[in-house]
Structure 1
């Protein structure tokens, strides 16, 4: 039962949480959250002129990660996917297929620079990344994403039609989770995405 009328879908955009909401998200009692708050294990602030505790989103995420609590309730259900390819037709194909699938929110970028900005603002769960971008090689983008604490858990699938099989291991060593050679079967790629994100295959 949601606290204060807040639904799980609204948690994806919520910036500050009550102890009751934090308890529901973490699947623990409200008293447990209050004890963690009062002991300093979970930090936040009190509403001025009252005893009500409030917990900022970033701090709640830190606490959940530190205690191995799944972040799913904060993520609104759908998994976010960023497509990074300088071919508009490839981007359009992915948007069409993944949007119709129903389990994913999709954004696209055509350069490494755009990918960097969207990684911070869109916070994708997974990036489909072309190796050859106009401004930078995809492996550099991969290393930057995996090198930041805030994005290191982002899954990355490289796609390319020009990478030799001998170079695939180098891409995986840069932090990628998978590599798929162009041209590829879109349905098989969706299956790989679902597997990496641990979601059930639709249909």
Structure 2
């Protein structure tokens, strides 16, 4: 089965565009579009991944304890260029919570594309926020706004998330907020300088 979503073709996967999420909705359950063509397992996995994202992107709520019930023991998180010392989904939620103390109105604007196949879920999303919270290192809050996109690739088993690969280039966010772009270099590139 092939379905066109947002101008792209996904072969062998059920796909659907998602609706924008208003800020008030983020404190509640996100709007769920029809999950046409998905199996019951795929639908459950999509909702599991969306719940993890909703919690991880809610200022004041994101943290290890807030997501532990969604995560399988021994789970894996991978995104070496932006969170090189983070290795589990719980650690990511905790670290992301620290970032949201600086960008304290950070929010998911929309789930742009979501698709699922068996135990895998892919979400492309848009997020935004202002640097109005705590300082970023020695940089006082700039008040500047940033808007960026990223992709989250999840794997689930028995109602728990077992893996999360985040595809995100934080350079766009850092530039928009006026933060030092050298912080965006991968550890390998930084050590070669």
* TM-score, structure 1 normalization: 0.25
Asked which structure has the greater RCO (Cα within 8 Å, sep 6+), the reply is 2
More strand by percentage:
2
